[in-house]
């Protein structure tokens, strides 16, 4: 692998490439060009070639990429050859939906434990995952957990994240509509669906305004 630092934008596209290659391999496609892959993932071929160049020579000029070889490489790069354990904190409507889904199409990621403040949910199972009471979070040993998904109200997110950190968590997928203030060695991905929807509506309307002005 190249010693170059991989940009965040490139790292964020790798799972998209990986998922598409899984489908391609499953239907028997053995090789693909960057332009073909670009049409599938809606990323221009120049960007794809640049993304892959950070990892050395993954393809051959005039041939393209061996889909199985590229899939295997990305699988190792994304740590898909080992089980990633995840916990979920906040078993409301969104949390329940995530538990019911529980990465059924990804055998390498699994929600192994959930937490909620409601005592009536303690001991219940949703999607095969047992729900624990929030008071157990800070004292549990979660050092073998890859990340926590936060689906709690905004006013609880910071304190809940700090409790999770005390249990050993160092990565968060935050669905709460608030930015977390955590140490620099803790990685956080914010998923604010309201912001995403507002951005989508803006681009839709902006695109319509541009067409009307032409």
Domains and CATH numbers, the chain: 8-77 (1.10.10.10), 84-194 (3.40.50.720)
Q: Alpha carbon 205 to chain centroid distance?
A: 28
Write down the mean pLDDT value for the chain: 89
Q: What's the rounded mean pLDDT across residues 90-115?
A: 88
Residues at the binding site for NAD(+) are 90-95
Q: What span, in angstroms and rounded, lies between the C-alpha atoms of 103 and 98?
A: 8
Q: What is the pLDDT of residues 131-168, one digit of tens each?
A: 999 999 988 999 999 999 999 999 999 999 999 999 99
pLDDT at 6: 87
pLDDT at 4: 59
Contact between residue 21 and residue 74 where contact means Cβ atoms under 8 Å apart: yes
Lowest mean pLDDT across 5-9, 66-70, 206-210: 206-210
Prediction pTM value:
0.74
Contact between residue 55 and residue 2 where contact means Cβ atoms under 8 Å apart: yes
Please give the residue that has the higher pLDDT: either 3 or 31: 31
pLDDT at 57: 77
Question: Is the pLDDT reported for residue 21 higher than 50?
Answer: yes
Structure tokens belonging to residue 104: 């059924």
Q: What span, in angstroms and rounded, lies between the C-alpha atoms of 42 and 35?
A: 10
Residues at the binding site are 90-95
List residues bridging with 111 in a β-sheet.
86
């Amino acid at each position: 692998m190249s010693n170059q630092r991989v940009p965040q934008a490139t790292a964020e596209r790798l799972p998209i490439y990986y998922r598409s290659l899984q489908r391609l391999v499953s239907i028997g496609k053995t090789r693909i060009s960057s332009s073909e892959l670009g049409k599938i993932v809606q990323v221009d071929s120049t960007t794809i070639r640049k993304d892959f160049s950070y990892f050395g020579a993954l393809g051959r000029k005039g041939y393209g990429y061996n889909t199985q070889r590229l899939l295997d490489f990305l699988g190792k790069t994304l740590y898909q050859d080992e089980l990633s354990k995840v916990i979920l904190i906040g078993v409301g409507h969104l949390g329940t939906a995530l538990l019911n889904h529980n990465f059924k199409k990804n055998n390498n990621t699994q929600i192994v434990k959930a937490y909620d403040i409601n005592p009536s949910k303690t001991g219940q199972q949703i999607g095969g995952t047992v729900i624990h009471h929030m008071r157990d979070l800070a004292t549990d040993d979660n050092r073998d957990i890859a990340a926590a998904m936060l689906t709690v109200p905004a006013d609880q997110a910071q304190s809940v994240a700090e409790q999770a950190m005390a249990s050993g968590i160092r990565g968060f997928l935050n669905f709460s509509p608030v930015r977390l203030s955590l140490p620099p060695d803790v990685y956080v991905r914010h998923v604010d669906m309201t912001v995403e929807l507002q951005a989508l509506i803006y681009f839709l309307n902006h695109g319509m305004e541009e067409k009307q002005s032409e």
